[in-house]
Structure 1
Amino acid sequence: MALTREEREQFLAEPHTGALAVDAGAGRAPLTVPIWYQYEPGGDLWVMTGRSSRKNELIRAAGRFSLMVDRVEPTVRYVSVEGPVVDTVPVTVEHLREMSARYLPAEKVDAFVDASWKNHGDQVVVRMRPEHWVSSDLGSLSDL
């Protein structure tokens, strides 16, 4: 059963690992990679990636990407969004802290931010405006 707008936005706002997909060009399947993301209901979704990464180059060329998140408990549920890139800006320490705090225990955030800032090179935040949504809750696996 499809999710309501509120259900799908709330689900996307939870800290799942996403599967980002972007057109990889003629004769290639889409590039699909796991990624952390940030989203607040009603807003734009954003991801971080290396400025010179293949992922960023493909996103820049396509001008849009898709992100799918799912879970299998307590029910099988997924949300997929696709939309245009609306902004790309350099990553700040504040971006790293916000994203890290979303996924890591509080006591791990500072060390992760410090290591990322020092070791991950030049990164960017890519913002996408969700335009097309596909979602479903397939029920509990115990109901099968």
Structure 2
Amino acid sequence: MALTREEREQFLAEPHVAALAVDAGGGRGPLTVPIWYQYAPGGDVWILTGLDSRKNRLIQEASRFSLLVDRLEPTIRYVSVEGPVLRTVPATLEDLREISARYLPPEKVDGYVDFAWKNHGEQVVVHMRPEHWLSSDIGRL
């Protein structure tokens, strides 16, 4: 059964690891990789990635991407969202801290942020407007 707008937005707002998919061009299948993301109901989705990464290059070429999040417990549920890139901006230390705090235990955030800021190279934040949604909760059957 499809989720209501409120249910799918709330589910996407939870800290799931997403599968990001973007057109890889050249007769290849899409690049699909796990990624952390940030979302608040009614807003835009954003991800943080390396400026010089293949992922960022493909996103900029395609001007859009998809995210898929799912769970198995207490019911099988998924939400997929796809849309256009709104903007890409240099990442700040605050962006890195925000997204890290979403996924890591509080006692791990500072150490990870310090390591990532020093070692992952220049990062960007890519904002996407959710345009097309797919969702289901098998537990409703």
Report the TM-score, using the length of structure 2 for normalisation. Answer: 0.98
Question: Equivalences for 1:38-117 in 2 at 5 Å?
Answer: 38-117=38-117
The aligned counterpart of 2:138 is 138
Q: Cα RMSD between the aligned structures?
A: 1.1
Name segments (4+ residues, structure 1) moved above 6 Å: none
Q: For residue 38 of structure 2, give the secondary structure of its aligned residue in structure 1.
A: coil
CA–CA distance in structure 2, aligned partners of residues 41 and 66 of structure 1: 17
Overall identity of the aligned pairs, in %: 76
CA drift at 1:26: 2.9
Aligned residue for 2:113, secondary structure, equals helix
**Unmatched segments (≥5 aa) in structure 2:** none
Query: Secondary structure in 2 aligned to 1:117?
Result: helix
Q: Which amino acid is 1:112 matched to?
A: Y
Match of 1:46, SS?
strand
SS for the counterpart of 1:133 is strand
CA distance in structure 2 between the partners assigned to 1:56 and 1:105 by the alignment: 27
Aligned length: 141
Query: For residues 77 and 11 of structure 2, what CA distance do their matches in structure 1 show?
Result: 9
Structure 1 gap segments, 5+ residues each: none
